[in-house]
Chains A and B, each alone.
Chain A
């Protein structure tokens, strides 16, 4: 099946198809690939017969089903790697939360793989008026290309957290299409710490009026890491809102991050309230952060629409102020970097996961999770 659409904008996907041949092999000059290290992505540009499929431990809400059983679906791949992965994946990991269910404990899905190169398909559906938190943990030390299809039922509240950690030499390509139902609320937080080349592409569309989507991101790139987050929010229903806040810290001279935030407000999306923001903190000379917000309005009848982007160096005056109070430089840097991420991370409703993520960030920075212990050692 091939569906070809007229290009709605320069920045939204032009083609959506499950047919791999609908997508020529990109050369790296195309807008959506222009920052990416194409050599590292080459294994995902042609079907691999020996590719594995990521799986997860079954639980009351989590199962493995054949991908064909998910048809028909509103989602179609929008680039070559996702079409290849969709065609090659053996089974899907599904998360099903029934109508009206209210789950207090997060559903944790740890994705695992046995072979070096993998495809993955995760399909999350939360029923009408249900409320739940789903945590996806990508710690497996394997290369992967996959999609997380997420469907938020009418009036439901879904919080999702994607934690990308694990070995630094791996490639992760993910699409994360989300459809937000009428009066539904979706919070999608992306934490990207691990991997050598990461492309995470969340996209949001609305299935009815009154939907709300908050997309949060915290990423930390170290020497040699390439982390790309490319967001697309399409407002085509009235009275919906979207709020995008992504923050990145770059340590190490060879680190490179890319943030693209595309928001398209269609003529039909009157009363839209949208804001997107990306801030990057450069901790070392030579780190590179690309940040491109795009806001396209087809109607002037919106409640509010805005975007902001700022990339700055570590502020030496902050460091001086903290050190002038006796705080050693290493701890002072830790406070500043943690403080930088705090406003994103405090929006993650699970305190347990919030702390875990702060701990992982501190660990990746070579810092101590426990400030007090480190302090006592430092001043002795």
Chain B
């Protein structure tokens, strides 16, 4: 049983005109076996929340805490967070020229597991995981994210998720840029991971579409850097029909 606990988190991004606060007091707990959907309009800061949990150097945490099973996540480096059991499936995965998917996966699996996987079982493990996501075996020889289509990038993210088996998975707009078929395959990959590992999942999304495939236990509405309302799956249905308008406070004129 693992818990990712976020308490009154404030974070800023450093810009040319000085720091700008984006997260304004986020509190949220994600436990093993539960799936939380964080939904919000563009620019609400929901992707920033994902990056701050993963430790992107662009953001500075000004107050609040993040812990994983009581351990202080904010004092960990980016790689330590991943080895502690956090995983961020990125919205815009980065190209790494000259590094093959297979070399990358093996290096990261070695790092996360603390020992190199046995070569014989490793090849089978990789092949099986790629099969679930309907990926051609030749994919392993391509360079990381180089020339990948939008769908291939997302499959590659979920491939890593299924092989690194984190305690808590954070999926940042995994549904964006996917057609219906790709969305279904990627969602099935996420669901297989959840069933197999019983991990906790934090699903960050703008649209309700992905929630037809990945069913959340909790839905949070994220506006202007904080959670403004939480509820069950029925809240997603409200957002589907009404949009975000009623949660966005219009500034007094």
Contact = CB atoms under 8 A, between A and B. Distances in A.
Nearest to B98: A339
17 contacts: A316-B57, A317-B94, A320-B56, A321-B90, A321-B96, A324-B54, A325-B160, A328-B79, A328-B111, A331-B111, A332-B79, A339-B96, A339-B98, A341-B98, A343-B97, A376-B116, A380-B114
A324 B88 contact: yes
Interface string B79-103: 1011100011010011111110001
Given A320-B94, A325-B82, A326-B82, A339 B114 contact: no
Q: How large is the interface on B (under 10, 10 to 19, 20 to 34, 35 or more residues)?
A: 20 to 34
Interface in B28-73: 54-57
Given A320-B56, A320-B57, A376 B114 contact: yes
A339 B97 contact: yes
A344 to B, nearest CB: 9
A342 B77 CA distance: 28
A339 B143 contact: yes
A323 B98 contact: no
Contacts of B99: 335-336, 338-339, 342
Contact of B112 (A318, A320, A325, A342): A325
Contacts of B108: 322, 325-327
B11 to A, nearest CB: 16
Contact of B98 (A315, A324, A338): A338
B78 interface: yes
A25 interface: no
A340 interface: yes
Contact of B111 (A320, A325, A338): A325
Interface string B235-249: 000000000000000
Interface in A301-335: 315-318, 320-329, 331-332, 335
B110 A375 contact: yes
B164 interface: yes
Nearest to A339: B98
A216 to B, nearest CB: 14
Nearest to B93: A321
Contacts of B196: none
A335 B54 contact: no
Nearest to B81: A324
B179 interface: no
B104 interface: yes
Given A325-B164, A336-B99, A339-B99, A379 B116 contact: no
Contacts of A375: 107, 110-111, 116
Given A324-B88, A325-B164, 8 more contacts: A318-B95, A324-B87, A325-B82, A326-B79, A326-B164, A341-B98, A375-B116, A376-B114
Nearest to A327: B111
Given A316-B57, A320-B56, A339-B143, A326 B111 contact: yes
B94 A321 contact: yes
A65 interface: no
Contact of B79 (A318, A323, A372): A323
B107 A331 contact: yes
Contacts of B181: none
Contacts of A341: 98
Given A320-B78, A323-B77, A376 B110 contact: yes
B77 to A, nearest CB: 7
B16 interface: no
A343 to B, nearest CB: 6
Nearest to A334: B107
Interface string B111-123: 1101110000000
A378 interface: yes
Nearest to B82: A326
A181 B79 CA distance: 54
A380 B86 CA distance: 18
Nearest to B92: A317
Contacts of A336: 96, 99
Contacts of A323: 77-79, 82
Contacts of B79: 323-324, 326-329, 332
Contacts of B110: 372, 375-376, 379
Interface string B202-240: 000000000000000000000000000000000000000
A115 interface: no
Nearest first, the 10 A-B pairs at minimum CB distance are: A339-B98, A342-B98, A325-B108, A326-B82, A326-B111, A323-B78, A321-B94, A326-B112, A339-B99, A323-B79
